[in-house]
Amino acid sequence: MSRFGTYYAHFRGMRNDLTGLPPWARAVFIAIVLPGIALVALSILVFVVSVAALLILAIPVYSLLRKITRPAGGGEMGLVHNADPWRNEAKHVDATVRDPDLNVPDELNGE
């Protein structure tokens, strides 16, 4: 926490130094920093445009592939052969539940 305090004090001192500059010095500082700020804004804009282009290209292809691979309306299968591959391998198991005989001692409880 003390490290945060020193960073905050350093930032506050730098801010006071910038606001304490004469107007001509602030103009020079802004002229030097402005291209960097513009590059950051442009990189964010390029990222947003690239994500939009990805979605514009990917969504129609995804929709087309979904329509092709979905089963047809009459119960026919499209290109998907079996939606549940484990269904064919499942085996039927019969189980019978019996009520315990009350006259037999319980081995788990040590009786």
pLDDT in tens, 32-81: 999 999 999 999 999 999 999 999 999 999 999 999 998 765 454 455 55
Number of Cα atoms under 13 Å in the Cβ half of residue 109: 4
Number of residues assigned to the chain: 111
**Burial (CB count <10 Å: 0-12, 13-18, 19+), residue 37:** exposed
Percent of residues, the chain, with pLDDT higher than 70? 71
Nearest to 32 by CA among 43, 21, 45: 21
Q: CA–CA separation, 19 vs 27, rounded Å?
A: 12
pLDDT recorded at residue 56: 96
